[in-house]
Structure formats: C-alpha cells, structure tokens
Amino acid sequence: MAGGGFVVADAPSADYGGRVTFSVVVTCLMAASGGLIFGYDIGISGGVTAMESFLSAFFPGVLRRMAAARRDQYCVYDSHSLTAFTSSLYLAGLAASLVAGRVTRAVGRQTVMLAGGALFFAGAAVNAAAVNVAMLIVGRMLLGFGIGFTNQAAPVYLAETAPPRWRGAFTAGFQLFLSIGNLAANLVNYGTSRIPTWGWRLSLGLAAAPASVILAGALLIPDTPSSLVLRGRAEEARAALRRVRGPKADVDAELEDVSRAVESARAHEDGAFRRILLREHRHHLAMAVAVPLFQQLTGVSVIAFFSPVFFQTAGFGSSGALMGAVILGAVNLASTLVSAAAIDRYGRRPLLLTGGFVMVICQVGVAWIMGSQIGGNGGSAMARPYSMAVLALTCVFSAAFGWSWGPLSWVIPGEIFPVEIRSAGQGISVAVNLGATFLLTQTFLATLCALKYATFVYYAAWVAVMTAFVAAFLPETKGVPLEAMDAVWERHWYWGRFVQPPPAKVAEETAA
C-alpha cells in the first residue's frame, strides 16, 4: 500500500445529523480569533526592527553597520541582542504551552484562552512603554506566555466544536486569523514608520487590540463538550452541543460518544505526558513532534519575522521593504482562504504535497538569484528587476505555505489525538512549534550571514524531506470524526503495528 494515502472506508463519518449552524460559525470564529495575537506579533516584530527610530533607541550597533561604506549585505542585521528581542517570546511560549496542557484539563479551553489574551495585553503595554532592552524582553516574554496558552487551547477548541465533515475548514480558521493579524501588523508598521521618533511604540502598543478581541471572544463562547464532560458537567455539555449543532442533530448520540471517549480518558488519567510516550501512542507522538517541527523548517516564520530585513538585503529601500511585507501578508491571507475552501474537499495530503513541491522550487529560485546578483561576499547591489523577482518568488512561496503547511500544521495536531492525551499532545505540538521558532529566529540572521544565499537551499532541502515524510507516513483524516480516528491509524501500512485495538474488537476477534 502506498504511503498512507487512503481514505478509511469503514471509519464512521456520520455528523450526527448536525449542520453548519450560525451558532457554530460564530463560536468557531471567536475561538479562531486566538490566531490574531500570534499573527500580529509575527508581523510587528519584523517591522519595528527595520525602523531607524527603534534601532537607534535599542540597537545602535546595527545602524552603524548600515552606515558603513563597505558592508556585507547578508550581515548588516547580524545582532544577537536584536534576534533575542524577537526570539525571547517563543522561549516563554514554549514553557507556557507545556504547563497549559495540565491547566486546560483542569479549567477548560475557554479559561485558558482568556488567560492567554490577558497576558498578551499586559505584554503589549510593557513593550509600548519600554525604555531599555531588558524591558523590551520582559514584555516579549509576557506576550510569549499569552501565545503559549492561546495556541494550545484554540486549535483543540475548534477541533472539538466543529462538525466532523467541516472540521478542517473550521480549524483552519486559526491560521486565517493568524494571517489577518500578520497583514494588519504589516499595515500598521507601514503607517507608523512615517512617525519619526515614536512610531515603533504605537506598533508595539497596538498589540493590545487583537488581545482585546480574543478576550471578548473567549468571554462570549461556551467551553467545548469534551472539556465540560471531562470536568463532570454533562448537562452543560449537552446544552453546548445543542447550541452548535442545531435542533435536528442527534445530540444524545454525539454526547454518548464524547462521554465514552472521556471515560476511556479517565481510565488512563495518570500522566498524559507519560502515556503519550508508550508504544501504543507512537504515531501520535511522532506527529506531535514532526508536524510543527517541519512547519518551522520551511523557513516561513523567519521570512515572516524578518521580511523587511530580508527585502532590504534584496535591494529594497526601507519603505519598499515594509510594503513588500504588506504584499507578502496579503498573499498569505488569500492563500489561507483558498485552503479553508479546499481542505475538506480535497483532503490534507494533496494540499501538503503540492505546497511542498512549490516551496522547494521557490526557495531554490531565491537562492539562485541572490547568489548570482549579490554574490558570496554580499558586496554587490541587486538590480531592481531581480529584486522584484525575489519578491515574486517569496510571494509564491508564501501562497504555497498558506494553502498547505500554514493551516494544516494546526488542523492535524488538533484532530489526531484521542481525548486522554489530547491536551498533552497539543501541548507538545505547540511547545515544539515555539521551541523551533525560538531556535530559528535566534539563529536566522547569523545563519544568513554565514551561509549567504545557501540559507535558502538549506530550507529547500528540509521542505523536500518533509514532503517525502507526508507521502510515506501521514494518513488522510478528511471527514473522520475525532472518536473514530483510531481506524485511520489501524489501517496505515506503518503505524498500524503500534495501534492497540479496543477491547470490544479484541473480544470479537477472539470469539470468531
């Protein structure tokens, strides 16, 4: 059997007679708004590091290198303190995501999203008022705690609330809001860069706006049925299901399946993090680590964070580099909308495979142009047509990421874990994502300085590896209810050897 590319014929695909109700749309949109804060931060941090007023206040050494008569274009922004400003957030987010799994089981997804929004709001206030690098980093760490909590809770909330048939599209809403936040941040940076002395403060302080959106959204939505049942609030779970599924849905049947899954989880309550290390969960652990790690190894986050810096390296002026970042954000948003429309029609695997193929071509193309134009020593200026070609290839790369690894790296971990390890699995997935983001953002400018144009060949090689991984090891999960996901893994050519069949199935096979 070819590497995992099948649809499980005998897996249940019923949606309990529910439909896409106005209530489920509004509820999922409010939960998905958690992506706003992550997207806003991705866009805002890269933009302010390209503003001269910000650099003169906190990183004057970078400005001195920019003013040097002869300089290596690849190494102008190589500053450990500058990358620490960006990456410190993700170290804090990693720590928060590991704690958030246990907190989520105790207090629910909704409360964790509220805590994430509040912490992000506090971080925005500290950063806007910063007077030194230490204060900047403290603010970034508060933002990181907020992102760690929200990124853990929101995708799982969406997966547990959305109708099975449309779960991919609803869960992709997190990436959609992330893209909206990123585009909004790039537009803010483009506007505030014209305020000579304090524009960067406005950019950082406006992070309070998306934080307010997630706070308001989390206050207005109920917790998920799975989370409510897990905490012994069955009647509230029934009411939540009835609200999001509509009057014609078989709420009792769905609640019975959710309760059965939760009871199974309670039977294995001891240490979800220890359980996920067992052989029977080998496939879950592999995906919890591989999917977010590969997402970051595409290089998309460092391109998003440092896109103004990258475009300046490619020959654009300061204003042109910020506009390039705006264009990149708009392309990513448009491609995410395409993904949301296609994900439940064509499935997860086709989007990942086509996206990976296009990203490899774009990365190699950027490497070739930069190598031929700027050279290995970074001393040459890039001609305008080639700068535009780099922008075009980067936009195509961003589009391919937006229809594939962008939304699907949130969709897949949110839907594959059984309820007994769901919080732990999502916590590991978010921790790996944020940990990899920290390492890559902390080292990107130094890597660009050391490897020059070969940096993009390095990322292209990783995209090729992860595309091969998808082809061999990632099964299709389109339309499969969360409670029936084990059937997907049982029939996989490789992962089937690790899946432990349910006791009822073992008894039936023994009797036969």
Please answer whether residues 155 and 97 qualify as being in contact, where contact means their C-beta atoms are separated by less than 8 angstroms. no
DSSP string, 69-97: SS--TTTTT--HHHHHHHHHHHHHHHHHH
Q: Where are the alpha helices (DSSP H) in 246-347?
A: 251-267, 272-275, 282-297, 300-305, 307-313, 318-346
Among candidates 11, 50, 14, which has minimal Cα distance to 310? 50
pLDDT at 5: 35
Question: Which positions ≥6 away from 60 have C-beta within 8 Å?
Answer: none
pLDDT at 210: 92
pLDDT at 6: 32
Could you tell me the pTM of the whole model?
Answer: 0.73
Question: Which positions ≥6 away from 184 have C-beta within 8 Å?
Answer: 36, 39, 40, 43, 210
Please answer whether residues 172 and 160 qualify as being in contact, where contact means their C-beta atoms are separated by less than 8 angstroms. no
Question: Which positions ≥6 away from 339 have C-beta within 8 Å?
Answer: 172, 175, 351, 402, 403, 404, 406, 407, 408
Question: Which positions ≥6 away from 147 have C-beta within 8 Å?
Answer: 37, 38, 41, 89, 93, 96, 116, 120, 434
Per-residue pLDDT tens, the chain, 512 aa: give them. Answer: 333 333 333 334 455 666 677 878 888 888 888 888 888 988 888 778 778 888 888 888 777 766 664 556 667 666 677 777 777 888 888 888 878 777 877 788 888 889 999 999 999 999 999 998 889 989 999 999 999 898 888 888 888 888 877 888 888 888 888 889 988 988 998 889 888 888 999 999 999 999 999 898 888 888 888 888 888 888 888 888 888 887 777 788 888 888 887 776 666 555 777 888 888 899 999 999 999 999 989 988 767 766 666 676 666 766 777 787 788 888 988 998 888 888 888 899 999 999 999 999 999 998 898 888 776 665 566 777 888 888 899 899 999 998 999 889 888 887 888 877 887 888 888 889 888 888 887 787 778 778 888 888 999 999 999 999 999 999 998 888 877 888 889 999 999 988 866 554 444 444 44
